């Protein structure tokens, strides 16, 4: 999403930043083990926004108030992911050295973790000990897992397929991910991989678990090339349409910690914006961030 749209056979509407994958692993300071959820209501949203050709990370309230730039750097900062307790944000930065960083929620105590570039959102394990991410492999795109301090980085899919957008389930037992245009799940060690949506001819991608683990929000593209958001039960059934738009794409959903709302990215023909919709789809989505802004996490 961050430079120009890239159309591939596996991700026709995806916007990406393509970076060189480095094989360096560096440990960072800090212990993120044993985190509890510190925020359940009125939690801020973190997202990427471009101003004067620079991508920074911002936080904002769900009503669009209290916009704060939390990175303030001349390098690209994208792909934010909240830690389970909302005290830390993992993200990719093009600053030197380029790679994944972790910072406090207000942007302080920023430190380098590992020289790796995800191609989509990262996802923390519920206990805060590990982070799942997608990245380049010898065969295409795979799902990787590392410890929150950057150690133990390893490929858990090791396949010839195209896999991206991992999402850790709230109980920690499963990781959902996009497998071509299906949503699959697997154990956190990469075993027991299987499709949730293969029975459905309509594509499905960009999974996000509800906080109670009962549902998954996702994006799906129709025959006219329009992408809207849906929810389904955790077994891949009971699809419910969440947004109805004639815009090019509603993508990258992410649930509020209380499970009542979903933040997402809406792609326009020449821009992207951050929107919030009720998890039941009862109201029209409302825009909370304008300009070139997206990749929101709640």
Could you report the per-residue pLDDT of 162-203, keeping only the tens digit for each? 899 999 999 999 999 999 999 999 999 999 999 999 999 999
Selection from 2, 36, 24 nearest residue 113 by Cα: 24
Is-contact 79 295, C-beta < 8 A?
yes
Q: How far is CA 180 from CA 192, 226, 233, in A?
A: 18, 17, 20
Instruction: Kindly indicate the confidence band of residue 228, based on its pLDDT and cuts at 50, 70 and 90.
Output: very high
The span from the first CA to the last CA of the chain, in angstroms, equals: 19
Instruction: Kindly indicate the confidence band of residue 139, based on its pLDDT and cuts at 50, 70 and 90.
Output: low
Name residues whose C-beta falls within 8 Å of residue 182's C-beta, 6 or more positions apart in sequence: 195, 196, 197, 198, 203, 204, 205
DSSP β-ladder status, 249-255 and 261-267: antiparallel
Tens digits of residue pLDDT in 18-69: 332 322 233 333 344 444 556 877 899 999 999 999 999 999 999 999 999 9
Tens digits of residue pLDDT in 71-126: 999 999 999 999 999 999 999 999 999 999 999 999 999 999 999 888 878 999 99
With left for phi above 0 and alpha for psi between -120 and 50, is residue 113 left, alpha or beta?
alpha
When computed from its CA atoms, the radius of gyration of the chain, rounded to whole angstroms, is 17
Beta-carbon neighbour count of residue 68 at 10 Å?
15
Q: Where is 153: in which H helix or E strand?
A: none
For the chain, what are the domain ranges?
24-34+41-297
Name residues whose C-beta falls within 8 Å of residue 227's C-beta, 6 or more positions apart in sequence: 13, 219, 220, 221, 248, 249, 250, 251, 267
Name residues whose C-beta falls within 8 Å of residue 1's C-beta, 6 or more positions apart in sequence: 14, 15, 16, 17, 265, 267, 272, 294, 295
Selection from 191, 179, 84 nearest residue 131 by Cα: 84
- pLDDT for 8 beyond 70: no
- pLDDT for 255 beyond 50: yes
Name residues whose C-beta falls within 8 Å of residue 148's C-beta, 6 or more positions apart in sequence: 30, 32, 33, 83, 90, 102, 113, 124, 128, 129, 130, 131
Name the superfamily (CATH) of residues 24-34+41-297: TolB, C-terminal domain (2.120.10.30)
Q: If 0-12 CB within 10 Å is exposed, 13-18 middle and 19+ buried, where does residue 6 land?
A: middle
Is-contact 58 70, C-beta < 8 A?
yes
């Amino acid at each position: 999403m961050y430079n120009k749209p890239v159309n591939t056979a596996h991700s026709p509407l995806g916007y990406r930043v393509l970076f060189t994958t480095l094989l360096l692993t560096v440990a960072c300071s800090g212990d993120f083990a044993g985190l509890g959820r510190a925020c359940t209501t009125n939690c801020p949203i973190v997202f990427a926004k471009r101003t004067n050709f620079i991508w920074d990370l911002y936080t904002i309230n769900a009503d669009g108030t209290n916009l704060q730039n939390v990175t303030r750097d001349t390098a690209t900062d994208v792909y934010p992911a909240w830690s389970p307790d909302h005290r830390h944000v993992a993200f990719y930065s093009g600053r030197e050295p380029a790679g994944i960083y972790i910072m406090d929620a207000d942007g302080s105590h920023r430190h380098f973790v590992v020289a790796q570039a995800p191609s989509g959102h990262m996802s923390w394990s519920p206990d805060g000990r590990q982070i799942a991410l997608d990245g380049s492999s010898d065969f295409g795109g795979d799902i990787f897992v590392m410890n929150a301090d950057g150690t133990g980085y390893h490929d858990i899919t090791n396949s010839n397929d195209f896999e991206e957008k991992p999402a850790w389930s709230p109980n920690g037992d499963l990781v959902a991910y996009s497998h071509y245009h299906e949503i699959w799940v697997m154990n956190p060690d990469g075993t027991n991989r299987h499709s949730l949506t293969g029975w459905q001819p309509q594509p499905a991608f960009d999974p996000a678990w509800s906080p109670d683990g009962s549902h998954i929000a996702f994006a799906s593209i129709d025959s006219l090339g329009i992408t809207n958001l849906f929810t389904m039960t955790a077994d891949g059934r009971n699809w419910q349409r969440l947004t109805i738009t004639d815009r090019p794409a509603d993508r990258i959903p992410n649930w509020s910690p209380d499970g009542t709302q979903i933040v997402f990215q809406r792609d326009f023909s020449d821009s992207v914006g951050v929107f919030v919709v009720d998890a039941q789809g009862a109201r029209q989505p409302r825009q909370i961030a304008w300009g070139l802004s997206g990749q929101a996490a709640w």
